[in-house]
Every structure is written in structure tokens, then in C-alpha cells.
Amino acid sequence: MTVFEQASQLSAFIYRYARIVHTFKIALALSIVAIINGFWPVPHFIWAMVTIVIIMMGLPQVGGAIEKSLQRAIGTLIGAAYGVLLVIFIEQYWHMMGLLILGVAVVCFLNAGRYSYAYLVTGFTMIMVIGDANHDTSEALWRTANILIGCVVAVLVSLFVLPIKAKQDWRAQLAKSFSLMAKVLEAHLGENADNKAVRAQLENTMKAVLAQKKLRFSLEWESQTLKKHADTVTELADEQIRVITLLELLLQSQLNHTDQTALQQIQLFAQTMQQHLLQLADYMSGKQAEQPQLPAGFSYQLEQQLITLQRLAQTESTEAAQSAFILNGYSWLIFQLALALTGINTQLDKLVAAYRHKARLLASVGLKSAKSQRQD
């Protein structure tokens, strides 16, 4: 099974009603903590609820919840350990405050990149534990324990109760991106297109690609295959941005005074790519089983058309040269669009091959296990 195969009915249901499912899961996680506290009262248990809301509210996907929970747990443990050590071993108020400020300053300096949330939690946990330096750490330690309880509950609910997978959201954003690209290219090839509406579609395409980029870390937590091929996922998004840029340039093209026969030949290539984008959208959404491919030699044929126009631009006829020059620029954009789509297919091929390789490895392990059982 690959990441692009049709989702199960349950997964499709969860994604379709993701907001309702997500709301239910947050309510369930809070209820679990409340029930635990009802039977075994824990001081300051409200911090467990705060942790659940912070972790789960903004990150409905399983991968995102796991990463944020781990960052919060690690940051809490480091910050609490530093704070407790200061309270135990430092008696003088000013020394303690100085070391606290130094610790927060170091965390602030290191606070960057993927693990910035862990640094943030470390800093405010230090302050929370030390408080007013009265050497009473029981309250801070109970808060720390409740934060860890909240992290555990949030992860368990995210994983095992109607899991909302980042992989499915990523696929949906890919399908949306390719579908909108096809609509923009279709509008460009058509007549009397609403330029404002087309540009709005182009903006929505960019939003879909940015949504894919935001899901990258969640994907890595959900799939070891996608984690190993994180660069491929990034390249796939970059190729889409390249297509968007080329479509933006095509929308600005004006070809009212060019050779209609040559223009029609070039636009046939564009129509082929428009249909290919629609097929890619169907493939991403699981409606098409086989990965679509551009026709064999597609880029080469377009490159030959480009070379022909370059030769025409060097003719002695001024009018023919001007027409060929305009078409040459337009066909260059179409050629670059073909290269970008080829790049997209290349990245998809890599991901499909990676999942198939993993499936073969699992099948091989299964066969070896079955043989050993028979021998036993």
C-alpha cells in the first residue's frame, strides 16, 4: 500500500468531519483528566487540562500532537530540573535570581527552529518552579506532574480515538493544488476568462502548497517512510511553487498577433498538461489507482518545437521574425511548465517506490517468519 491509495471508509469519514471529531476528542481528553481527578484528587490538576487544550486545539493531526506533547514534556522536565536544583542548592536570593535570569537568557538565545516550543516551555517552567524563591517546590512539582499527565492523555487520545492523520490532509491539499492548477491553465487556454477569479484560484493554489509545507513535521511523526524521504516531500512542494510561478507568467501573456497555426500546436501541449493535472488530482484523492504519466517524449517534442521557433526568429522577414520571437517566449514558458510537471512526477515516483520497497521488505519478513514457524 502506498500513501496515495484510496483511504478506508473510516478514514474518509474522520477527514470529512474532522472539525467535529477534533472537538469531540478534546472534550474526551478533558473528561478523562476530570474523571481521574474525581477518583484520585491531584493538586493543581487544572494544569493537565491547560496542557491538553494547548497541545490539541491547534494541532488536530496525530503527528502534530505527538511532536508538541514531546516538546512540552521535555521542556517541562528540563525547566523543572533546573529550577529545583537552584531552589535546593542556592540560598541567597540574588544569586538564585541571577542564575534564573541566566538560564532563561540561554534558552531565549537557543530558541529557534523546529524545537522552539520546547525552549519556550523550558523557560517558563524555570520561572514557575522557582517562583518567588521561597524554597517551597511542592506546588511547582505538582504542576509539572500535571503537565506530564496532560501530555500523556493528549497523545493517547490523538493516537487511538478516531485518529486524524496528517497524511490524509496532505493528500487532500495535493489534490486541491493540482485541481486548481488545472483550472487556471484551462482558463488561460479558454476565451474571456475572468482574470480576477483566475488569480484568486492561483492564490488558493499557493495556500494549498503552504498547507503541505506546514504538515511536513507531522508527516514525519506518522510515517517513517516519509521521514526518510523528507527532502522529496519538500521538493514536491517546491516544484508546485515553480508551476504556480509559471502559471502567473502565462496569465500575463498576450498572443493576439502571432501565427495561429504554431500557437495552436503549442497550446495542444498545454492542454495535455491540463489534463495531466486533473489526473494527478484524481490520483491524490484515490479516485485513480495508477499514477498518471506525461506522454513519452513529451518534453523532447516541446523542446523541438522551441528550437524550430528559434530558427524562425532568425529569418530575414521582420514580421515572421517578430511573430516567431513572441511564440518563442510563450513556448519557453510552456516548456518550463512541462519540466516542472516532470519534476512533480519524479518526486511522486520516489515516494511510491519507497512505499513499495517497504511493502516488499515487510512481505519478505512475513515469509521468513512463516517458514520458521513451519520448521518449528
Q: What is the pLDDT of residue 318?
A: 54
Q: Of the ranges 55-69, 233-247, 256-270, which one carries the lowest mean pLDDT score?
A: 256-270
Sign of the dihedral through C-alpha 222, 225, 228, 233 = negative
Tell me what pLDDT residue 306 has: 67
Could you give the percent of the chain with pLDDT greater than 90?
18
pLDDT for the residue 290: 83
Residue 72's CB is within 10 A of a number of other CB atoms, namely: 24
pLDDT for the residue 258: 54
Compute φ and ψ for 116, nearest 5 degrees: -65, -35
> For 197-204, what is the mean pLDDT?
90
Span 300-340, pLDDT tens digits: 777 776 666 556 555 545 555 555 555 667 778 888 888 89
Q: Produce one character per residue of 280-311: b if its CB has 16 or more CB atoms within 10 Å, e if not.
A: bbebbbeebeebbebeeebeeebeebbebbee
Q: With pLDDT > 70 as the criterion, what percentage of the chain qualifies?
A: 84
Average pLDDT score over the chain? 81
Is residue 245's pLDDT more than 80?
A: yes
pTM (predicted TM-score): 0.78
CB–CB of 310/245 below 8 Å?
Answer: no
Q: Among residues 69, 83, 47, 157, which one has the least CA distance to residue 118?
A: 69
Q: Do residues 309 and 259 make contact, with C-beta atoms less than 8 angstroms apart?
A: no
Give the confidence band of 275 by pLDDT, cuts at 50, 70, 90: very high
Rounded mean pLDDT, 176-194? 85
279/268 Cα distance (integer angstroms): 17
Predicted confidence band of residue 206 (pLDDT cuts 50, 70, 90): very high
> What confidence tens digit (pLDDT) does each residue in 46-79 have?
888 988 888 888 777 788 778 888 888 888 888 8
Span of 99-103, 273-277, 317-321 with lowest mean pLDDT: 317-321
Q: Residue 375 has what pLDDT?
A: 46
